[in-house]
A and B are shown apart, each in its own frame.
Chain A
Amino acid sequence: MSENHRVHTNRKYDFVLIAIVVVGLASVVGLSRIIDARRPAADPSLEEEKLYVTANTARRVSLGFNGLIADWYWMRSLQYVGHKVLSLPADVPLDDLGSLNLKLLAPLLDTATTLDPAFMEPYEYAAVVLPAVDVDAAIRLTKKGIAANPASWKLHYHLGYIYWQRNEYLAAAEAFSAGAKLPGAPAWMKAMQAKMTADGGSRTTAREIYRRMFEESADKNVKEMAALRLLQLDSLDQQDQIRTVLASYKNLRHECPKSWSAIAPLLHSRFSLNSQGAPLDPSGSPYQLVKDGCDVELDPKSQIPQK
């Protein structure tokens, strides 16, 4: 009898404890929600506060875990850019984020590469994203990468790309030339040097730059950006062809076409047209006639970057 009573008491005791756990956890969830709802919005200035720990200090105190901490800074850089990109109304190419005030990006990437100087992805990210934010920081970081990894031709390619974006074609040619001399560098690095020297500002050179970036990059976002820029270059070529058609139409009729259907027969052989006869850009959106039908431009909803 007393044994039964003891078992019964133990069960009651267990039941009370389980009830406390269940009710307690439910209360924690409820209370957390109330606290979260009452918490004031995060101060954006705190988000942009300078990094407390300098890159060299972080390396010193990393106790041999520098690779792991570099990974953390790298992921923080991606999150930092990602959060800001999400606040934009439309998709913006990775190399055109200047409006986002990414002032922490350079120190974050600098810390990641100081902690792990052989970590190549932050250098590539710096070469692609940073020029629109802080071009000097981009050059500094890439040169730091070259000093730490003297055998890497890709870093010279990144440096050349930054200079090319700044229209500094001779400096770009020098960077490609230095990279081309390194063992394992592809033959096109030498060709790129020649292109820069002869015709740095041309669309052909731009196409070559982005084509190589698309082929060589392991980063999905960089690849997407390069692919978009290639589509944009194709679109620029198409717009030139459409303008030629518009000009010949105007020469013949002394007026610009009122709608696409008026020049659809002239475009048909060279473009895919939609049901209204409008030519489609490389992303599949119809071009728009502007300036009373005398000029052409991209549909604002097109995936092709406007600039």
Chain B
Amino acid sequence: MAIARNTFLEAVRDRVLYNLVIFVLLLIAGAIFLGELSGGQERKIIIDLGLSTMLLFGVFISIFVGVGLVYKEIERRTVYAIFSKPISRGEFLIGKYLGLCLTLLVNVVIMGVGVSLALLFVHRGWEPLIVTIWPAILLIYFELMMITGVALLFSSFSSPALSALLTFMVFIIGHFSADLKNLASSMDSVVARGLFILLYYLLPNLSNYSYITPAAHGQLPGAANVLLAMLYAAVYIAVTIAVATLVIGRRNFK
């Protein structure tokens, strides 16, 4: 818990939460100007813009802070001091991971409140969409937690630049999962089909977490779908942290 708290405080010290200012400015500008441009669709556009920005900023934080979580400790050599204490490498990684997840949670909650306030402002009163956007926000948070897990995994064996690139590619491919499966079914070669099926199951299926567009129409995801998506994320995160722990465990920090 101490590692998680320190990671969160470090993120705050690194001014990671400054992105919230840009987000709020974007929303205010959106709320004021988009009504004029969108033919009366400002509520939909505020939700689309707000939640998409939330996802995009969150992905950037997950990637750029996530890939530095372990690397910075190694570079500053603070990792030697940490591992000299009775802390296992797994605990260290989980602490780091939870610290960044806390940062993301603060981000996502404040941004969600910002979107809700923008809706109140545009609607000049209570708006049911203020409630119905939160399941979509929850799914965005789980997507970000998965991306953070992937970033942590890559950073356990690669440089920050390469880790960031690889994680971003996983984010992109993760949204093409359905295409991977379709591609596999259209392949004649058994090997190629097997490869695409393997990739489909290996890479995170992030389309399970894309609920921004229906949320903008006031649609709610089914409870079973949300629970399954959360379970999938929990399992995937456990796997990525386990692999990262295995890799870190083989590195010599003595």
Contacts and interface: CB of A to CB of B under 8 A. Distances in A.
Interface of A: 60, 63-68, 70-71, 74-75, 78-79, 115-116, 118-119, 121, 125, 218-221
Given A63-B172, A71-B48, A118-B214, A221 B179 contact: no
B39 A78 contact: yes
A64 B214 contact: no
Contact of A219 (B39, B179, B219): B39
Given A64-B212, A68-B48, 11 more contacts: A64-B52, A65-B56, A65-B212, A67-B47, A68-B52, A74-B39, A75-B45, A79-B37, A115-B213, A119-B44, A220-B40
Nearest to A116: B213
Contacts of A71: 38, 41, 44-45, 48-49
B176 interface: yes
Contacts of B38: 71, 74-75, 78
Given A71-B49, A119-B44, A64 B175 contact: yes
A227 to B, nearest CB: 16
B37 A64 contact: no
B237 interface: no
Contact of A65 (B40, B47, B52): B52
Contacts of B172: 63
What secondary structure prevails in chain B residues at the interface with A? helix
A63 B39 contact: no
B39 A67 contact: no
Contacts of A121: 39-41
Nearest to B212: A67
7 contacts: A63-B172, A71-B45, A71-B49, A78-B39, A118-B219, A119-B44, A220-B39
B119 interface: no
A60 B176 contact: yes
Interface stretch (B68-76, B82-90, B202-210, B223-231): B202-210
Given A78-B39, A219-B40, A221-B39, A64 B55 contact: yes
Contacts of B34: 75
Given A71-B45, A75-B37, A78-B39, A66 B213 contact: yes
Contacts of B176: 60
B216 interface: yes
A148 to B, nearest CB: 12
A75 B47 CA distance: 15
A64 B39 contact: no
Interface in B23-46: 34, 37-41, 44-45
A74 B41 contact: yes
A67 B46 CA distance: 11
B213 A67 contact: yes
Contacts of A79: 37
- For the complex of A and B, 8 pairs with smallest distance between CB atoms: A67-B213, A64-B210, A67-B48, A68-B48, A68-B52, A63-B175, A71-B45, A65-B52
Nearest to B59: A63
Which of B56, B209, B212, B213 has the most chain A CB atoms closer than 10 A to its own CB? B213
A64 B40 contact: no
B213 to A, nearest CB: 3
A228 B214 CA distance: 34
B206 A64 contact: yes
B119 to A, nearest CB: 15
Interface in B213-252: 213-214, 216-217, 219
Contacts of A221: 39
A95 B44 CA distance: 25
A115 B39 CA distance: 18
A66 B55 CA distance: 13
Nearest to B46: A71
A62 to B, nearest CB: 8
Nearest to B215: A67
Interface string B172-188: 10011001000000000
B39 A68 contact: no
Nearest to B37: A75
A64 B39 CA distance: 24
A218 B40 contact: yes
B37 A68 contact: no
Contacts of A118: 213-214, 217, 219
B49 A68 contact: yes
A220 B172 CA distance: 38
Contacts of B216: 67, 116
